[in-house]
Structure 1
């Protein structure tokens, strides 16, 4: 399925029944990263596994974590989800943190796994690899990881929903 939000079409797969759970993948991945996880939770949750902008089957658009958080915010509104739990891995975790910090989406809780609040939150070795890769490829995915995010301590402290 697709939802038109924030000027992009987000592809998502919906399965299961119960409270809504939105799954957000990491950089360079797509919703399929959760294929082994969804069967474990779909009896208690209606799972929405999204492809972020410029990933998987979603439309191409400039990358930025705050824009991606806006995409998810508008996805929640467009699909009529009521107080979903939002869980993200890596870039998806960063998006979940920003979504919760901005406080505009009516969400129940977040789980952010492998997320960093600054580019320096990535281990030095990986930052070197990503910067070197960007030097040679100018990949927008690598650029995102070496230039963003910038989530302040005040923003993190402003999160009002339960966060893991």
Structure 2
């Protein structure tokens, strides 16, 4: 693990390989360890960089009043310190929201966007009552021991065909979360709505979803595809929200195919 300091926060990250920079942004309750299969599988052609978002993994917790704009600023500072050249940004779930918040304020920095199991923010993709249900759920969970609620997440992230070892590994990573860090991230982005950002995206964009994703269903995927000009929608069959873990070979192949089209590789 390497560390940089951005706006007074220490940000930890993993790096592997050489080539065009591919930056991986994990989802809620996770950290860079969730990307083990991509750090291994894509580093033959790319410089793969996976951060621990502020409040996650080995990174410092941000202040309680952290905002989405602060989060985008932290990512911008991280990229300036840790990445050479225009990065390809790949965000998973919450990480896709961070990528869109970042694009809102720094549209000239990324070379492309790869939005996985993505939303236009919860408020931009889900009914208001579902947004409030999810918000209340996570707030309540942060007062509970992880062994009480992390297992409840697994059926919403994986299909019943997933390797039990992969499910167990993911659960262990998620259980290692920072309560104060997650609370700050929830404050920053739980009510975000990026529908106004989508039509202005002017870099190559891939939307990658599992066909059995129950958290970011295909209706969300198709609406994102409709709103982002020229975006490519790719569906991986028979897989859920965590396609990068459940079917890493298919996931990595789609990422590689898209980046070859962008970079001419």
TM-score range, shorter chain: 0.7 to 0.9
Deviations 1:31-76 (A, max 9, x none): 0110112211100101111000000000111343332221111111
2:80 match:
77
CA distance in 2, matches of 1:128, 1:80: 37
- What's the Cα RMSD here? 2.6
Instruction: Quote the offset at 1:122 in angstroms.
Output: 4.3
One of 134, 139, 162 as aligned partner of 2:139: 134
In structure 2, the gaps of 5 or more residues are 144-178, 207-265
State the match for 1:55 in structure 2.
56
Shift of 1:114: 2.1
The answer for the alignment partner of 1:101 in structure 2 is 104
Aligned to 1:16: 17
Matching of residue 35 in structure 1 with residue 24 in structure 2: no
CA contact (8 A) 1:25 1:33 kept: yes
Where structure 1 has 5 or more consecutive residues not aligned to the other structure, the ranges are: none
Once structures 1 and 2 are overlaid, which stretch shifts more, 89-98 or 130-139? 130-139
Report the alpha carbon displacement of residue 98 of structure 1 after superposing the two structures with TM. Answer: 1.8
Residue 157 of structure 1 aligns with which residue? 199
Distance 1:39 1:156, change over 3 A: same
Deviation at 1:84, TM superposition (A): 1.0
Counterparts of 1:36 and 1:13, CA distance in 2 = 12
After superposition, the Cα gap between the structure-2 partners of 1:105 and 1:135, relative to the gap in structure 1 and judged at 3 Å, is same
- 1:130: how far off? 4.0
Q: Which has the larger radius of gyration?
A: 2
TM-score normalised by structure 1 residue count: 0.84
The Cα shift of 1:146 comes to 7.8
The alignment partner of 2:118 has SS state of: coil
> Which of the two has greater helix per residue?
2
Query: 1:10, CA displacement in angstroms?
Result: 0.7
Give 3-state SS (helix, strand or coil) of 2:205's partner.
coil
TM-score normalised by the chain length of structure 2:
0.54
CA distance in 2 between partners of 1:129 and 1:77 (Å): 33
- Preserved contact between residue 72 and residue 105 of structure 2 (Cα < 8 Å): no
- Please state how far the C-alpha of 1:9 moved relative to its aligned partner: 1.1
Whole-Å separation in 1 of the counterparts to 2:132 and 2:189: 7
Q: Does 1:148 align with 2:148?
A: no
Aligned residues: 163
